[in-house]
Amino acid sequence: MELADKAVGFLLSAVSLSIFSYYTFWVIILPFVEKDHFVHGYFLPQEYAILIPVFAGVALLSFLCVFVGYVTIKSNKKKKSA
Amino acid sequence: STFFLPLPFISVSGDDRERATTGNQREAQAAGNSIKLNATLKMKHILKIMALLVAVAGIWISLLETSVVPHSYTWLLPVYLVVSLGCYGLLMVGIGLMLFPTCPQEASLLQRLL
């Protein structure tokens, strides 16, 4: 169904745009705002701006490696038994 | 027909491959030339992007060395670039999903054939 496709596509682009704007605001605009402004309460401390993407990237890479290894082992087992 | 998503290196061109598989030798040579032209254009595009990346890295390193930016912020730019690249990829996938053309007439034709 095209409507489901369009909904998934819209959701995906909305999520990516929100992540991009949040991250840009966090990294680029927030350092120039004074410490007492209320907006600082909505954002985590600045060290997390580097830790979270690195952690997510490492998690993604390890998941990919585990997945590739699992598929390889499964196909090797099938080749051996066949 | 050519279907080009704004992702730099991905383009699907059906008619180049069709022209390459026809028996006529002149058409095959023209198709080969167009594929070679496509490849050199893509190479120039890749070089432009790499030059841009090197320029941005140079600017960032010069800003770091002249102490305009404190050293704790070293990894900020590469991480920001990687995150924005990932977001851009997701955005293009989402937009492609939204704009994907379904052909209802061809679908009903296929159903009738089946």
Domains of chain A, by residue range, sit at 1-43, 46-82
Give how far A77 is from chain B: nearest CA, Å. Answer: 35
Please write the tens of the pLDDT for every residue from B67-109.
777 777 788 888 888 889 999 999 999 898 888 777 888 888 8
ipTM: 0.72
Q: What is the pTM of this model?
A: 0.64
Chain B residue numbers with beta carbons less than 8 Å from the beta carbon of A28 are 80
Question: Are B97 and A2 within 8 A, CB to CB?
Answer: no
Beta bridge partners of residue A3, listed in sequence order: none
The pLDDT tens digits for A49-72 are 778 888 898 999 999 999 999 999
Q: Is A52 exposed, middle or buried (0-12, 13-18, 19+ CB in 10 A)?
A: middle
* Cα B18 to Cα B27, B31, B57, B83, distances in angstroms: 10, 9, 42, 38
